[in-house]
Amino acid sequence: MTADILLALDQGTTSTRTIAFDAALAPLAMAQEELPQHFPSPGWVEHEPEDIWRGAVATLRGALAKAGAAASRVAGIGITNQRETTLLWDRATGRCLHRAIVWQDRRTADHCARLRAEGLELLLTDRSGLLADPYFSATKLAWLLDNVAGARAAAERGSLAFGTVDSFLLWRLTGGRVHATDATNAARTMLFDIRHGAWDDELLRIFRIPRAVLPEVRDCAAEFGVTDAALLGAPIPVRGMAGDQHAATIGQGCFAPGMVKSTYGTGCFAMLNTGADQVASRNRLLTTIAYQLGGVRTYALEGAIFVAGAAVQWLRDGLGIIRDAAEAGVLAAQADPAQHVVMVPAFTGLGAPHWDADARAAIHGLTRGSGRAEICRAALESVAFQTRDLVDAMLADWPAAGDTVLRVDGGMVASDWTMQFLADLLGAPVDRPVVRETTALGAAYLAGLQAGLLAAPGVSGASHWRLERRFTPAMPRAEAARRHALWQDAVRRTLSS
């Protein structure tokens, strides 16, 4: 029987899904499960590792069943994941010592402040491309080693394994035979030298991380091992792995320097392909590995927004002013244009280019005439405003990018109203693809590339990307500038210092 199906396991912050694709990367079936989040203290965000694992197995099985395919037809699994989320488990039992600490978690803000006060951020940025912020894995792992009884001693004995979600799932899928990650996930730990492509001894010393807990680092398309036959009915090779934003960059076909994509999920992440250039940001963006294939690293500038779709979730679950996400766009279109309500959604701090872990969300400009519609509009507009800040910073850091066409994906791009406002504010085209699950598409592409089913990146490698709709700017530039100035004023009022 021909192995002609690719499975993309997409483990995200609020859900886990698996999509089955055919050999031409057309989606065949999808299975999805929600993933609960836990908030044990203000600013703390956790997941139960067993919830992550159960969701992965259930959706892998579900997608296969819906596609009506046997496991023997699967040419490979591609894994993509929420990045920076940190797990620590016992190598003998596979059980985690603590809940997973999610990328949004801010419990290590004081640790990061100490690193900055000690003058270490310049070194951290030079080696890892990252900033001293709780967002990344290193301080999370240090917290686990220091706060879970016996963890540090066990880690130093070599009894424990650290991993981001991809590495944890690979360990479980292969029955504990493989402890590995890929270059993109390694690049988000603040322990990895992105110039030399290796774990860095000095960074490990700064964070007091024993090298024994670290996974092996491989290309994004590689032989990562095979699954236990009992899980899915037959052993299946795992052949692709990339952090979610890197997989989305691949899924969007952004293989040429200057191409930029932005993913709108729980947060928002924009990534500009800079090719072989490891661009040092002057505007507090991140320098990262876009992808690594055949041992060759392609770099990117990235801006991270912590809250995008999560703001709409808050409107639904926190305020109870909408029944579902789609209603936000309907109400936004009905908002009073004379109202100038601005939401700064800093529920877990502000990401790039501000990096203020202590900022908290605020709504500015409320009047007695402000209602549900105006608040919904402000929540959706905040996503465009934050994207504008990121794109402006990217183009200032790397003018070689030239004119911008933004390729978008993620749940929020279903809102035509939001995408049109984004194009208006950027003054640039916004392209929405036919397949909007580009994170899963990128993971499937990596698995298909390693399996020999798909062509290497280049003109032919981007043929899986197809345009569904282009949004072009319609708002006068003066009006866009006025609206952006209101946003910038609101941010200044919201910053913690």
User: What is the average pLDDT across 215-222?
Assistant: 97
pLDDT for 225: 96
pLDDT for 460: 46
pLDDT for 436: 81
Confidence of residue 116 (pLDDT cuts 50, 70, 90): very high
pLDDT at 350 over 80: yes
Using alpha carbons, select from 288, 243, 284 the residue that is nearest to residue 263.
243
Kindly report which listed range (50-54, 93-97, 220-224, 355-359) carries the lowest average pLDDT score.
355-359
Using alpha carbons, select from 94, 17, 93 the residue that is nearest to residue 57.
17
pLDDT for 458: 67
pLDDT for 335: 87
Contact 381, 484 (CB under 8 A): no
User: What is the average pLDDT across 136-150?
Assistant: 96
Summarised one tens digit per residue, pLDDT across range 375-384 is 998 999 999 9
Rg from Cα positions in the chain: 22
Summarised one tens digit per residue, pLDDT across range 29-44 is 999 999 999 999 988 9
Summarised one tens digit per residue, pLDDT across range 415-463 is 898 899 999 999 999 999 988 889 999 999 999 999 999 888 764 456 6
pLDDT at 486 over 70: yes
Q: Which of 9-18, 341-350, 449-458 has the highest mean pLDDT?
A: 9-18
Average pLDDT, the chain: 92
pLDDT at 402 over 70: no
Confidence of residue 313 (pLDDT cuts 50, 70, 90): confident
Task: Give the three-class secondary structure for 193.
Answer: strand
pLDDT at 348 over 90: no
User: What is the average pLDDT across 222-232?
Assistant: 95
Tokens representing 285? 């963006």
Summarised one tens digit per residue, pLDDT across range 356-369 is 878 898 999 899 98
Helix H, strand E, coil C: the string for 9-48 is EEECCCEEEEEEEECCCCEEEEEEEECCCECCCCCCCEEC
Write down the pTM of the prediction: 0.87
Confidence of residue 80 (pLDDT cuts 50, 70, 90): very high
Tokens representing 289? 């590995």
pLDDT for 462: 63
Q: Which residues contact 452 (CB under 8 A, 6 or more apart)?
A: none
User: What is the average pLDDT across 372-401?
Assistant: 89
User: What is the average pLDDT across 43-66?
Assistant: 96
Better-scored residue on pLDDT, 437 or 96: 96
Burial class (CB in 10 A: 0-12, 13-18, 19+), 455: middle
Kindly report which listed range (50-54, 101-105, 317-321) carries the lowest average pLDDT score.
317-321
Summarised one tens digit per residue, pLDDT across range 407-417 is 999 888 888 98
DSSP string for 259-289? -EEEEESSSEEEEEEEET--PPPSSSPEEEE
Q: Which of 77-86, 256-265, 275-284, 375-384 has the highest mean pLDDT?
A: 77-86
pLDDT for 266: 80
